Structure 1
Amino acid sequence: MRWIFFLLLIANLGLFGWFLNKDQAPAARVTAVATDVGVNTISLVSEVDSAELEAVVPPPEPSPPEVAAGAQTRAAPLCTLVGPFEEAYQGEDVAQRLQALQVDAVLRDVEMQGQMRYWVYLAPLNSTREAFRKLRELQAAGIDSYVIPKGSLENGISFGIFSELARAQSLARELRERGFAAEFREEPQTYLERWVVLTNEDPVSAVGAGEQIGDEFWQQLQLDYPDIERRQNLCSEIRQDSADR
């Protein structure tokens, strides 16, 4: 019986050892693998050092410069003005001298802006009949006035044009106190002068034709006409007499 006891003991020990080895995970075998130099490897971004990431990721390409709003426009042409001349024959003489130099020059009556004036008025009424009815009312009240016959204030009532702003403001205030909705606005005074106008020879550049003439010509012209002057202005802003157009 003793040998049966030992046989069972050995069997139990062997079974216990088998179950113990089964519960343990087998050790992982690590093998060093050489990486080929020419083969790219894949790594998570979180595992890469920031310095290495900056070296790998190329910087963004600079965007092309923005085109300025409304492409660059061509320079506005300039005109040179020489004058003014009291007599027409004087301007014609200067224009002919310039034309002899192959410069496009012509004598014109140019509209010049003078002193600012101030117009006191009532806004235009609906019809000419209403305008004259209002005029009779104003004249009955002893107020000098007249109906404006044409223009932007046609069928309005005018109380006069003044060279001093204070006088226009005072009259408009007095009329409003008497119950008339008077207003005033600026009216630039204009007059005509004779000038020789030199147009621009090269519309692309901003250099006027007058700048292309030698200093000797201008010096001689100043000796012949001491009172004249030379100035530049945008050709589009030069207004001339309607009879000369």
Structure 2
Amino acid sequence: MRLIFIVLLLGNVAFFLTQFFGGSAPVDAKPAVVEHRNFGNLQTIAERDAKGKQSAKESRKKEPEAPSGAAVSDSEKCELIGPFAELLHAEYLVERLTALEVASSIKQVEIADGKNYLVYLKPEMSEKEALRRLSEIQQSKAIDSYIIPSGELANGISFGQFASEKEASDKAEQIRAQGYAAEIKEIPKSHNETWVEVHQKVGQKVSEEKWLSLLKEEKAIERRQNYCLGVAR
């Protein structure tokens, strides 16, 4: 009995030593966790950059091209014929163009023509005050003058407009010598000219020879290509 006990004990010890030194992991030991991530197809940096550039090019191809600069369209260009000394002559040309099925119109164009110099006194508070001041100047000083009826200088006193700055300065000094604070203001001068306007696209229906024939009867008449009147420059 004792011998059986010893044999069983030795057997258990042998089994234990075999399990311990045999390298087998214990049953309840947990294996190391390895994290796996799906990176898809691996690429080198160069390959990635090349692919990115190619994608950008393809993307740009799909985008509409930006419109080119501020080119003036044909609808904004016109033929201007003039200036006409008399409105009636411009009307004759419009009639002839209408007979050729070319639409046209008469335009009055304001042309800058230098400036004048106004000698004046600042506006009074009311028309009544302006009349009182005018009466004082004309009766006691005998200076030619009149009330400015409208505009930013309405109810002011004018001593006239002069073609040169020197004339205006001389007049202003005379008024100041009489005890009045005369001032000078530049007034832009202009005059109107009569022109006939034809849209360039429509004007192309008329040959150069026909244009010469239409214009040869008029003296000092020009034909210009320009923006249509009223189109922003």
TM-score of the aligned structures, taking structure 1 as reference length = 0.54
2:145 maps to 1:156: no
What does residue 33 of structure 2 align with?
Answer: none
Q: In structure 2, what residue type is equivalent to 1:149?
A: P
What does residue 92 of structure 2 align with?
Answer: 93
What does residue 170 of structure 1 align with?
Answer: 170
Q: In structure 2, what residue type is equivalent to 1:235?
A: L
2:70 maps to 1:77: no
Report if aligned partners of 1:80, 1:209 keep a CA contact under 8 Å in 2. no
Q: In structure 1, what residue type is equivalent to 2:195?
A: W
Residue of 235, 238, 245 corresponding to 2:229: 235
Q: In structure 2, what residue type is equivalent to 1:216?
A: E
Q: C-alpha separation between the residues in 1 aligned to 2:204 and 2:120?
A: 46
Q: C-alpha separation between the residues in 2 aligned to 1:210 and 1:183?
A: 51
What does residue 203 of structure 1 align with?
Answer: none
2:214 maps to 1:215: no
> Does the residue aligned with 2:169 lie in a helix, a strand or coil?
helix
Question: Percent same amino acid at aligned positions?
Answer: 37
Q: In structure 1, what residue type is equivalent to 2:124?
A: L
Q: C-alpha separation between the residues in 1 aligned to 2:133 and 2:215?
A: 57
TM-superposition CA deviations, 1:75-98 (whole Å, max 9, x none) = 693443312334444322211222
The verdict on how the C-alpha distance between 1:119 and 1:93 changes in structure 2, with shifts beyond 3 A counting, is same
Stretch of structure 1 that moved more, 88-97 or 73-82: 73-82
Q: C-alpha separation between the residues in 1 aligned to 2:154 and 2:98?
A: 45
Give the CA RMSD over aligned residues. 3.9
Report if aligned partners of 2:197, 2:228 keep a CA contact under 8 Å in 1. no
TM-superposition CA deviations, 1:111-141 (whole Å, max 9, x none) = 4443422221122221101111221232222
Q: C-alpha separation between the residues in 2 aligned to 1:156 and 1:108?
A: 35
The verdict on how the C-alpha distance between 1:221 and 1:147 changes in structure 2, with shifts beyond 3 A counting, is same
The within-5 A match list for 1:27-66 is none
Gap runs ≥5 in structure 2? 1-41, 61-68
1:216 Cα shift? 1.7
The verdict on how the C-alpha distance between 1:149 and 1:73 changes in structure 2, with shifts beyond 3 A counting, is farther
The verdict on how the C-alpha distance between 1:78 and 1:116 changes in structure 2, with shifts beyond 3 A counting, is farther
What does residue 188 of structure 1 align with?
Answer: 188
The within-5 A match list for 1:117-136 is 117-136=116-135
1:165 Cα shift? 2.0
Stretch of structure 1 that moved more, 226-235 or 128-137: 226-235
